[in-house]
Amino acid sequence: MIQHVGLIVHTDKPDALRFTREAIEWLEGHGLQVHLEPEIAHVLNMPQYACDEGTLCASDMLVAVGGDGTILRASHLAAPRQIPILGVHLGRFGFIAQIKPHELASAVARVQAGDYRVEQRLMVRAIVYREGEAICSALALNDVVVTKGAVARMITLQTFVNDTFLATYSADGVVVATPTGSTAYSLSAGGAIVDPACDVLLLTPICAHTLSARPLVLPASKQVRVVVSADDGDFHLQADGGETVRLRSGDAVRVSRAEECTHLIVFDPDEFYTKLRDRLLWGERVNV
C-alpha cells in the first residue's frame, strides 16, 4: 500500500509546476504524504513539503513530472533503493513516461489496488580508467556517450568487447545504450530500436568516417571498453546527458551492466509499440 509519495519535478516547465500543485492537493486529499526536493518546494513556495534526500528516497513511490529526462534523474535516486517510478508525460516524446497529467488519479488508484506491473529496466555503469586507476564512475538508464568537444576534430576510439579488440573508429564519438536508451541518442546516430524488455547493449558509432562501421547489438553480459585519443585532447564522457567528465588521451572507459536497475510502474506492457507509432510516426507516410 502506497503511503509516502516523492515528487521529482522539471523546474523549467511551467506546466509541470502547475500540475505539481494540483497533484499535491489531490494526493494529500486522499491521505498520502508528499515529499519534495528542497529546490522544488522553494520554487512552489511550499516549504512544508521539503525534505532531504534520505526522506525523499524512503518514499513508497516516486512520481517524475516532466519528460523522460526527469525520469532519468529520478532513476539515479530510485534505482539503488529499488523505489518504483511513475512517469507523468509533459515532454515532447515521452518514451519512458507512462501517464498523462489527467490520468494521475486513476493511475494512483490502480497502484493502490495492485493493478499494475513493475518493469525492471537494465542500467549500465561506466568506469573511467586513467593510467590503470579508476578515477570516476557513472550510472545510466539511457546511455553512456564518449564524444568530442564542441570544436574538436574527429577522435579515435579503440573499441573492445570484453577483452577482444573489435575496431578502431575515427568518429565524433560512440554511444553505449540500453534498450531503454535505444530511442534516444543512439537512434539519432543510426542505432537500432530495441524493445526495453530485451537484455542487450547497443554500441553505436557517431558519424564514423568509414562505410564499414555499423551499430552493434550485444548481450548485456558483455563489457564494452573504449580507449580514446585525439590530437587536441578535447573530448568527454556523459551518462544520461548529465554532468560532463573531461577525458584525456589514453583514458579507457569500461561500460557494463550495472548492479542497479530502474523499476518503472507500467499498466500496459506493450505500450512501447503504440509509442513508436504515435511518437515517431512509425510506418506513416509523411506528406510535405
Asked if 168 and 159 count as a contact pair (C-beta separation under 8 A), the reply is: yes
| Partners of 109 in beta bridges | none
What is the crossing angle of helices 104-112 and 14-29, to 10°? Answer: 40
Domain ranges (residues) in the chain: 4-116+267-279, 123-259
User: Per the residue annotation, which of 15, 52, 60, 68 is the catalytic one?
Assistant: 68
In whole angstroms, give the CA distance from residue 69 to residue 34. Answer: 22
Residue 74 confidence (pLDDT): 96
Q: What is the enclosing helix (H) or strand (E) of 236?
A: strand 235-239
In whole angstroms, give the CA distance from residue 168 to residue 249. Answer: 14
Q: List the one residue out of 253, 271, 236 whose CA is nearest residue 89.
A: 271
Residue 144 confidence (pLDDT): 98
Q: What is the enclosing helix (H) or strand (E) of 19?
A: helix 14-29
Q: List the one residue out of 125, 282, 96, 280 whose CA is nearest residue 201.
A: 125
Q: What is the pTM of this model?
A: 0.93
State the CATH class of domain 4-116+267-279. Answer: alpha beta
User: How many Cβ atoms from other residues are within 10 Å of residue 130's Cβ?
Assistant: 13
Which triple of cell numbers denotes residue 47? Answer: 516549504
Kindly compute the dihedral angle of the four CA atoms of residues 237, 242, 246, 249, in this order, to the nearest 10 degrees.
0
pLDDT in tens, 182-235: 999 999 999 999 999 999 999 999 999 888 889 999 999 999 999 998 777 778
Active site residue 68: yes
Which triple of cell numbers denotes residue 20? Answer: 505539481
Query: Which CATH fold would you assign to the domain 123-259?
Result: Tumour Suppressor Smad4 (2.60.200)
Q: Phi/psi of residue 21, each to 5°?
A: -60, -45
Q: How many CA atoms lie within 13 A of 268 on its CB side?
A: 11
Asked if 251 and 128 count as a contact pair (C-beta separation under 8 A), the reply is: yes
Quote the DSSP letter at residue 99.
Answer: B
Residues of the chain with pLDDT under 50: none
Q: Phi/psi of residue 10, each to 5°?
A: -80, 110
Spatial CB neighbours of 218, under 8 Å, sequence gap ≥ 6 = 161, 200, 201, 202, 203, 224
Phi-psi region of 24 (alpha: psi -120 to 50; beta: other; left: phi over 0): alpha
CA distances from 226 to 154, 155, 162, 165 (A): 15, 12, 11, 10
Spatial CB neighbours of 188, under 8 Å, sequence gap ≥ 6 = none
In whole angstroms, give the CA distance from residue 43 to residue 35. Answer: 14
